Chain A
């Protein structure tokens, strides 16, 4: 109770401070600030450092090219330690500083969602590269995400399966947790709408290792394609058992499988598996190539999808600022909504009113024991 009272008190103080500071980030100096809230220490420090590298890279580049309408951008980095309480305190700090125009972050859905109310009240854009919880962007009008959620990936995969691969008889095997149920639900709904017949939807309990019964059943139903929202440990177990049962379906799955572990544990059994991903280092699209090259040159390491998503978050934000200027926090939102087909490292991105991205994912597949670009 004491804690709650303190927080409420602090919020009140901050609101007052905001009132005294006047509306909006009116600052005469030749600088504008962007906040970055990310876990730089703790269990997720690696992801936080991906964010920091990419966002720094974008902002340095924009500054070198003359900044936003002549104003240099200052990046204010705060360590949320992967702690939802910490990200709220950071949000309050950013909001209280009239120089901060918008914020990038946080990494996890829980940290991002916890801070959402603070940004919403200040009408400040909160753009998270990775927060994927469906409800987050519904918490207000200033939340923007870069990563494609299951609400997007599911129907995207359904279109891939039904429209592009021309598969009409489909079965699914999915992990019975929040993520898997959603992934399956959105896929199945869209696939049915597109005229596909769903032969079976088989769920398995997380931790299940015996898939022989499910596989024998599917083998009998002879689906043209099996869709599998799973993680690599389950997926490779399913595929190895399928191979043993002489069942070799065409398989479409999710970005969750994008790992060398899938290749190591799946061996021959996972050959031909197709998945969509946010970022792939040999994606031929110029924006992805530019990012990969720049990142390697600057940091001497290969970027991962978290770095690519953070790069796009910062890129989207600076593009929006260039369009609407730096006079008002609230207008940054309009700037982002106005960007159509922004060429990012993770594909072209557009926002509709929902502020979840509509994007073209990268299609990849397993061939000769490696992840390669998908070829029909």
Chain B
């Protein structure tokens, strides 16, 4: 990026970096969910973006109708998306365990369309916002960072992403549940023979993956203060791509790829291509996959995260 030297104002670069990292964090959070689910089930879900959307709306309803409390909204969204994740797992995978993979894939696409329509029915097709009086009570504040103003919310999007990645990494590597998930990912028949309740593990993976989506939904929804039924579409697609670029089964890979994509998008706007920002991010991903067909962290599978 030789053009960077042409930019004289460092505060402006910091500002764009924060913009890019915030945007990238969302992709990363969603990509983590994809990665966990794919790593465990070896199956792709296309309803992930819509679970994220439902999570956002649940947070929206809590803040608007019950109590303007950010944590409460997060907890409610976690519960709702975990339940929804289990429902999707049941519909698309549990009852179709012996069906061809394409069938499950199609069911997840069907579920995603159903969820968008459901949201349109409940909340209407237009964009909704949290009223300003309530938003002010969420207690967001600004931090002055070398002349650049960053909001607490902006930092928490990035912070929550990194925190959840660490939590997930620990869960997979250091806990009994994690060990069972890894065992199932490695060879579900062997795990089953060892007495692992494989169905419960699949559901757990789906529930945890969906909860990550739900958290992302609330964060993004409140950050932009925009809630609309199709909000999961492009984000879902980008996050899935990030997960592929990250190596599909690597948790750090998903986060790194997500953040990179956010940065590429932001800086493509800076260099005069605001209407091609999405094209830019996909071209970037194609380039990476051409150079490293297995993805950035390909080969570092969920099953082999730790050799214990």
A245: Cβ under 8 A from any B Cβ: yes
Q: Are A219 and B12 in contact (CB under 8 A)?
A: yes
- B87 is an interface residue with CB less than 8 A from chain A: no
Give the residues from 11 to 64 in chain B that come closer than 8 angstroms, CB to CB, to chain A: 12, 15-16, 19-20, 22-23
Bound Cα distance from A11 to B265, whole angstroms: 55
8 A Cβ contacts from A173-199 to B? 176
Measured between beta carbons, the chain A residues less than 8 angstroms from B132 are 267-268
| Minimum Cβ distance to chain A for residue B224 (Å) | 5
New A-B contacts (18) at CB < 8 Å, excluding given A237-B224, A268-B132: A202-B269, A203-B274, A205-B275, A209-B231, A210-B23, A212-B19, A212-B22, A213-B19, A213-B277, A214-B269, A216-B19, A217-B270, A233-B127, A233-B226, A244-B151, A245-B15, A264-B129, A267-B132
B20:A213 contact, CB within 8 angstroms:
yes
| 19 examples of A-B residue contacts, CB within 8 angstroms | A200-B272, A202-B274, A203-B274, A204-B275, A207-B234, A209-B224, A209-B231, A213-B265, A213-B269, A213-B274, A216-B15, A216-B270, A217-B269, A219-B15, A233-B226, A237-B224, A237-B226, A244-B149, A265-B127
Q: Which residue of B lies closest to A268 (CB)?
A: B132
A360 within 8 A of B: no
B94 within 8 A of A: no
In the complex, chain B residues whose CB is within 8 Å of the CB of A217: 16, 269-270
Nearest chain A residue, comparing its CB with the CB of B132: A267
Contact B16 A216 (CB under 8 A): yes
Known: A220-B12, A267-B132. A204 touches B224 (CB 8 A): no
Q: Check B23 against A205 for contact (C-beta < 8 Å).
A: no
Quick one: which of B110-135 are within 8 Å of A by CB?
126-127, 129, 132
A200–B224 Cα distance when bound, in Å, is 24
Instruction: Sort chain A's interface into a size bin.
Output: 20 to 34
CB distance from B102 to the nearest CB of A (A): 29
- Cα distance, A220 to B274, chains bound together (Å): 15
Chain B nearest CB, measured from A228 CB (Å): 13
Question: Once the chains bind, are A212 and B9 in contact (CB under 8 Å)?
Answer: no
Instruction: Knowing A207-B234, A265-B129, A268-B132 are in contact, say whether A214-B274 is a contact too (CB < 8 A).
Output: yes
Q: What's the Cα separation between A168 and B301 when bound, in Å?
A: 57
Tell me if B266 is interfacial: C-beta within 8 Å of chain A. yes
Residues of B133-174 contacting chain A, CB below 8 A: 149, 151
A240 contacts the other chain (Cβ, under 8 Å)? yes
Interfacial chain A residues near B20, Cβ < 8 Å = 213
A213-B266, A240-B225 given as contacts; is B15 within 8 A of A203 (CB)? no
Decide: B9 and A220 in contact? CB cutoff 8 A: yes
Nearest CB of chain A from residue B141's CB, rounded to whole Å:
12
Tell whether, in the assembled complex, residue A216 and residue B278 are in contact, meaning their CB atoms are under 8 Å apart: no
Residues of A within 8 Å of B126, CB to CB, are: 233
Q: Report if A241-B224 is in contact (Cβ < 8 Å); known contacts: A176-B275, A203-B274.
A: yes
Chain A nearest CB from B149 CB (Å) reads: 5
**Residues in A whose Cβ lies below 8 Å from that of B225:** 240
Q: Which of A200, A209, A216 has the most CB of B within 10 A?
A: A216
A residues less than 8 Å from B275 (CB atoms): 176, 202-205
Q: Does B230 contact A (CB under 8 A)?
A: yes
Q: Does A246 have its Cβ within 8 Å of any Cβ on chain B?
A: yes
Chain B residue numbers with a CB within 8 Å of A210 are 19, 23, 224
Q: Complex: how many Å from CA A244 to CA B148?
A: 11
Chain B residues lying within 8 Å of A236, measured Cβ to Cβ, are 129
How far does the alpha carbon of A207 sit from the alpha carbon of B270 in the complex, in Å?
20
B-side contacts of A245, CB under 8 Å: 15, 149
Interface residues of A in 253-293 (CB under 8 A from B): 264-265, 267-268
**Please, how many angstroms separate the alpha-carbon atoms of A245 and B145 in the complex?**
12
**Closest B residue to A237 using CB positions:** B226
> Inside 8 A of A213's CB, which chain B residues have their CB?
16, 19-20, 23, 265-267, 269-270, 274, 277
A163 shortest CB reach to chain B, Å: 28
Quick one: given A212-B266, A220-B12, are A207 and B230 in contact (CB under 8 Å)?
yes
